[in-house]
Structure 1
């Protein structure tokens, strides 16, 4: 249900001093839906794209999201702003508000664009192969777009591509041995998501720390080696000592794969040979 809203938009344009403000329509159309709690704006995925206008630079939500992703890949979410995106696109900042009403909607579009890449994992004939393909694709996407991991595990992602990935994952797990009912499926999904979010955030945090400090894991261990040796020599930490002395530095990808298999074996109740 479209309605007209002019006052806030005109005030914002005047405050921002947008050079393209003379190109704006006098009124902005808001699309509302009725809910048990009153009227609420339609989600960004259900709103039609704004009508093209006679402007030097054409815009679309996909184009805005792609630009935002490129900037976030380079500098992180903290450095992302509507003004920076607009400058990159060569338009005034207020033009972007025709397409997204706030930062949350912008992040929603960015996240769903990444889920579109994950959805390319597709369906496989066997449930485990489908889940493995989706999770590995998710790891690839998170390593390519580190900010994506920062947004995992927070509020649900409900864009069309996120829902498609969620459907594929849930449908595959529902076919697993040991998943007998909806409660089993919820627990299996919860365990899988908890592992994936934790593993990806840890791996990406380690990468960021190495970049920001110029020190990798080996350098860090060497710097703290004398202290750790003194502590382990006390004999108070025998199991930690075994891990430090006898344990190898495991490859991140290999560890991720091994632990993912262990999670799937556990949640389905049927170990995989």
Structure 2
């Protein structure tokens, strides 16, 4: 599971094609690699445990870190990853899974979910998501977006074999710029008085995530696949993303729509219900308000 997570995390901040090429050429850090490197206790005090691994600041290009007297014996530079941030992520994640999860990440997930199982139904899913995401924020270099994507895939992949996993995995929503801009261009944000700039506000009350959650409650996902849960927010969010992304239907994005003018795609299946809001004017408005 560590090896799979490291591959997922390697796609942050770069085109998928480039990340794949680099992984094919240089490989990645595996659980076995990290365990072997840390078996003889390293001299660097930061590698003594998860709670000690802080402010490492290893940089691949300059081969420097915050503990220069220990870098000669440090295992991080031995891995040919794309940048030093990923090297730090690799060891931070390993130490989390070893020290916090006790070497049993699946068992840790089960315990985190079980701790929230007794909550009222309207609070339970939110608490379960937070019980997984919040601790992982301590792992260096992992954004909430990537954490959410990885956890959603992992939990959904278990299907109904593990209690709560499918339900929680289906409830995760990942808002990137494509999804946010689609909600802007269609006028959905404005209709619900939810206009806001892309960022943390997307996950606040009446933000993008909450609106998608409300949409999902009105769509029976079993119509698309009888094995799906009835309400499937992650499926709805992914459908929006695929409608917009260049690798999907490529229908609603900055390459297709000029931000200075409303969309002129007369073939769009959503045109009759779309307000075709100009994205550029919205961005100017937020910049003025922020100033």
With normalisation by structure 2, the TM-score equals 0.35
Give the structure with the higher percent strand.
1
RCO comparison, higher one (Cα < 8 Å, 6+): 1
Decide which structure has the larger Cα Rg and report it: 1
